[in-house]
Amino acid sequence: MIFVSSKVSDGNMSFFREDKKTVLENRKKFLKRLGINPNSVAEVKQIHSNKIISVTNRLPSSDTKADGLITNETGIYLMVKIADCIPIGLYDPKHNAIGLIHVGWRGLEKDIIKNVVKSMKKNFNTNPKDLIVKFGPSIGPCHYRLNLWQLAEDQLQKLSVLKKNIDNPKICTYESKDYFSHRRSVVENLKEDYRFITTLGINLRNS
């Protein structure tokens, strides 16, 4: 399984912040290092919702509005764009299924975590107790009024995800200069308010 976030050194990954040609080249280089074909990557237009899209062999349009993706198709990689929200990856090893969600305070309030677990149950017969959950870089309570990490972990455990199966390295995007941070850009009045990406997939070589 691959669960990786790009870094500042990989460049901006958002079409809303830079010209398309530059962003596509940044994405291509980053994905190539991971051995991922850009044509096998599924993404959506994130709107801070609780909507989850199930991806089969046909990828959704990048204009599809949602904040989460699930699949059990080997060779399809899920991707979300991040500035401070939490990228959360879920892996069901028993059914070889994955989910990736973009989680901010609005998504937490709208139960996006509950929806992704529910969607994986419905589509892949996933048992929450089997899920392995990983958090990517996101803003920490040291620089934000809410402890998004704790709120997300609490919601996962209420859904029967085992605490020992939740891996949160607690890398704060504001604190770490390795990742873009929207809040840091605003506070420091930076011109470049860029985004990084987090991708999740089941590696063909390891399946």
**Domains of the chain by start residue, with CATH:** 2-206 (3.60.140.10)
Residue ranges of E strands in the chain: 2-5, 41-42, 52-54, 68-71, 77-82, 86-92, 97-103, 132-135, 166-167, 196-201
Between strands 68-71 and 52-54, the pairing is: parallel
Mean pLDDT of the chain: 95
Give dist(CA 162, CA 184) in Å, integer: 33
Q: Is the pLDDT of residue 33 over 90?
A: yes
Q: What is the mean pLDDT of residues 132-145?
A: 97
Q: What pLDDT, on the 0 to 100 scale, is given for residue 202?
A: 87
φ, ψ (nearest 5 deg) of residue 130: -90, -15
Beta carbons within 10 angstroms of residue 206's beta carbon: 8
Is the distance from CB of 79 to CB of 43 less than 8 angstroms? yes
Q: What pLDDT, on the 0 to 100 scale, is given for residue 157?
A: 98
Q: What is the mean pLDDT of residues 64-81?
A: 96
Give dist(CA 158, CA 44) in Å, integer: 27
Percent of the chain with pLDDT over 70: 98
Q: Is the pLDDT of residue 204 over 70?
A: no
Give dist(CA 86, CA 101) in Å, integer: 8
Instruction: Report the SS3 class of residue 169.
Output: coil
Q: Is the pLDDT of residue 113 over 70?
A: yes
**Burial class of 109 by CB neighbour count within 10 A (0 to 12, 13 to 18, 19+):** exposed
More confident residue, 56 or 136: 136
Structure tokens at 14: 């958002």
